[in-house]
């Protein structure tokens, strides 16, 4: 009985939010369908969020769908936007509902005393638009990611099209993009090399762990003129080879912080390995990323508190100035009333008037004396000038 009580009182494990990002054509939506089906087969249905407003159909059922809140085509018409602008504006509009989204997620993740048999979610799957820059580099995407990370362990799954990454230049482009996403989101990342049923991802793992293996592949691409250098323009294979070589050595430390898995969304191969990497990154999030997020949250809260205090001080000063002005007006009114009702004040006013009259008379006398002195001086100057004039003659 004691063990049952302790088990029931133990805090529920937080679900892990898996945010899938990837370039158009990388198989991101198919990958979402595969991991969703895998979790259902494990009797652990996830909570699914679709953030792609332009998709016509999704091969999985979403608990929260941006298309239910925002009409993508109407947004394009109303704001006179293109496809990317319509997606971005739709995300901006949807980001205003982030508090409602978090409320629904927390409700599904928290135990309900009235429903002890309620099954809690263990995974949150988030599908994003194929225009990766619209989500990753936009303010709305940052708001949604930070809101998720503030409540749940959050992991980025960067989906890569493995067959198209076979060349060293395309591989390095994907690595640089992954690096920029990692440092932009500041969240743990898993590189998912998709479509391994078409091409095995072992070459990519080898390039990331063995510098010499990448150099050998780079030499082969240069020898076969894979970079398509044009003579006389200074952008030949030698330049590309040197650039890729330096990038490879620079990204060695970046590779050390990544988990790499090869997955086939068609056959389901590697899905178990992917979820093992998700659990590993969730623990890494709690240990390394969560303290940093909490520190930033405290800084934002402190900044908001100081801003509120500053605004409050301005308001209080404004109220104090208003009260001072009102008091001055009231005192002035009281003085006028006392002139009418108080004989003693009238005597004081008479004395003040006498003093003012005395001051005016004294001022006139001083002015007349100064004018007379000035007139005498002027006359003396004039007489002296006549004397000089007569002497010259």
Diameter of the chain by CA atoms? 138
How much is the pLDDT for 347? 47
DSSP annotation string for 289-345 = IHHHHHHHHHHHHHHHHHHHHHHHHHHHHHHHHHHHHHHHHHHHHHHHHHHHH-HHH
**Can you tell me the distance from the alpha carbon of 196 to that of 271, in angstroms, rounded to the nearest whole number?**
12
Phi, psi of 8 (to 5 degrees): -70, -30
How much is the pLDDT for 253? 81
How much is the pLDDT for 233? 45
**Can you tell me the distance from the alpha carbon of 116 to that of 300, in angstroms, rounded to the nearest whole number?**
37
How much is the pLDDT for 372? 57
Q: What are the per-10-residue average pLDDT scores of the chain (393 residues)?
A: 43 84 91 96 95 91 94 94 93 93 91 82 94 89 91 95 92 92 91 95 92 88 70 53 82 85 95 96 88 77 83 80 65 51 45 50 56 51 48 49
Hey, what's the torsion of the CAs at 242, 246, 248, 252, to 10 degrees? Answer: 170
How much is the pLDDT for 361? 55
**Can you tell me the distance from the alpha carbon of 390 to that of 377, in angstroms, rounded to the nearest whole number?**
20
DSSP annotation string for 145-171 = HHHHHHHS-EEEEEEEESGGG-SHHHH
How much is the pLDDT for 237? 52
How much is the pLDDT for 19? 96
How much is the pLDDT for 369? 60
How much is the pLDDT for 303? 82
At 115 the three-state DSSP class reads strand
How much is the pLDDT for 235? 41
Of 228, 194, 252, 31, nearest in space to 128 by CA? 31
How much is the pLDDT for 317? 79
CB 161 within 8 A of CB 195: yes
């Amino acid at each position: 009985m004691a063990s049952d009580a302790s088990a029931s009182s133990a805090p529920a494990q937080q679900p892990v939010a898996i945010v899938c990002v990837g370039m158009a054509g990388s198989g991101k939506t198919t990958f979402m369908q595969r991991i969703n089906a895998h979790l259902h087969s494990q009797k652990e249905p996830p909570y699914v969020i679709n953030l792609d407003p332009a998709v016509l159909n999704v091969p999985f059922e979403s608990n929260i769908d941006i298309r239910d809140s925002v009409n993508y085509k109407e947004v394009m018409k109303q704001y006179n936007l293109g496809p990317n602008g319509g997606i971005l504006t739709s995300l901006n509009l949807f980001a205003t509902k982030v508090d409602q989204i978090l409320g629904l997620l927390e409700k599904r993740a928290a135990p309900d005393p009235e429903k002890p048999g309620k099954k809690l979610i263990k995974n949150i799957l988030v599908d994003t638009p194929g225009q990766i820059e619209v989500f990753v580099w936009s303010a709305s995407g940052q708001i949604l990611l930070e809101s998720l990370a503030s409540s749940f362990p959050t992991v980025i799954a960067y989906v890569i099209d493995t067959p198209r990454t076979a060349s060293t230049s395309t591989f390095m482009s994907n690595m640089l993009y992954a690096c920029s996403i990692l440092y932009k989101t500041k969240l743990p990342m898993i590189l998912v090399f998709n479509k391994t049923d078409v091409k095995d991802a072992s070459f990519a793992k080898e390039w990331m762990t063995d510098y010499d293996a990448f150099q050998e592949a780079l030499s082969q691409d240069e020898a076969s003129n894979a970079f398509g250098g044009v003579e006389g323009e200074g952008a030949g294979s030698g330049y590309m080879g040197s650039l890729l070589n330096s990038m490879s050595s620079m990204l060695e430390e970046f590779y050390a912080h990544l988990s790499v898995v090869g997955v086939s969304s068609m056959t389901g191969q590697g899905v178990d390995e992917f979820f093992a990497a998700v659990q590993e990154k969730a623990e890494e999030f709690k240990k390394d990323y969560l303290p940093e997020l909490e520190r930033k949250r405290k800084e934002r809260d402190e900044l908001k508190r100081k801003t509120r205090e500053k605004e409050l001080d301005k308001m209080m000063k404004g109220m104090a100035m208003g009260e001072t002005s009102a008091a001055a007006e009231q005192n002035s009114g009281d003085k006028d009333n006392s002139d009418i009702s108080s004989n003693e004040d009238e005597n004081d006013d008479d004395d003040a008037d006498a003093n003012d009259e005395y001051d005016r008379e004294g001022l006139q006398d001083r002015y007349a004396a100064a004018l007379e002195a000035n007139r005498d001086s002027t006359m003396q100057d004039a007489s002296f000038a006549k004397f000089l004039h007569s002497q010259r003659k």
